[in-house]
Amino acid sequence: MTTDEKVTYWNELSEYDLETAVVMLNTGRYLYVGFMCHQVIEKIFKAFYSKLKEETPPFSHKLVYLAKQGNFYDNFSEEQKLFIDQMEPLNIKTRYPDYKKELAKLLNKEKCLELLEKTKSLQQWTKEQL
């Protein structure tokens, strides 16, 4: 795969996951809105990594790690860095029953709408860097 093909691949997956997050919101599956928002950011970061490094991104779900390994973490505003930190646990906690109950209490419709808006914003910002 060429670098452009990798970027396109990860970008398309990010878009698909964003659409899935919206569907999850519309069906009231708030726990999975958080998970899919994490996936959106992870995949757009992998597109950015691919573009900058011209290589396959690491097999990691850790957002900060991906951004630092791709040498673009320092490009984010402090607000964006805080959001990335907030998103980090949504990948893991949705996978395990004990965490699911805890997380489900925190993710309501209003919180998920906020997550989606911030996710779209960070995704768009990252795409503009591509």
| Cα 56 from Cα 101, distance rounded (Å) | 35
Structure tokens at 105: 């209490």
Please give the pLDDT value at position 90. Answer: 85
Beta strands per DSSP E along the chain: none
What percent of the chain is modeled with pLDDT above 90? 82
Q: What percent of the chain has pLDDT over 70?
A: 95
Higher-scoring residue by pLDDT: 25, 103: 25
Instruction: Output the pTM of the full model.
Output: 0.93
Phi and psi of 55, rounded to 5°? -150, 170
- Does the pLDDT of residue 101 top 60, yes or no? yes
Contacts of 113 (CB under 8 A, 6+ apart): 25
pLDDT digits (tens, 9 = 90+) for 20-47: 999 999 999 998 999 999 999 999 999 9
Domain residue limits, the chain: 3-129
Average pLDDT for the chain:
93
Instruction: Say whether domain 3-129 belongs to CATH 1.20.120.330.
Output: yes
Q: How many CA atoms are closer than 13 Å to the CA of 87, on its beta-carbon side? A: 29
Identify the pLDDT of residue 96: 64
Query: pLDDT-derived band of residue 81, with 50, 70 and 90 as boundaries?
Result: very high
Choose among 4, 15, 119: nearest CA to 50: 4
103 sits in the region (left: phi over 0; alpha: psi -120 to 50; else beta) called alpha
Return the higher-pLDDT residue of 100 and 59: 59
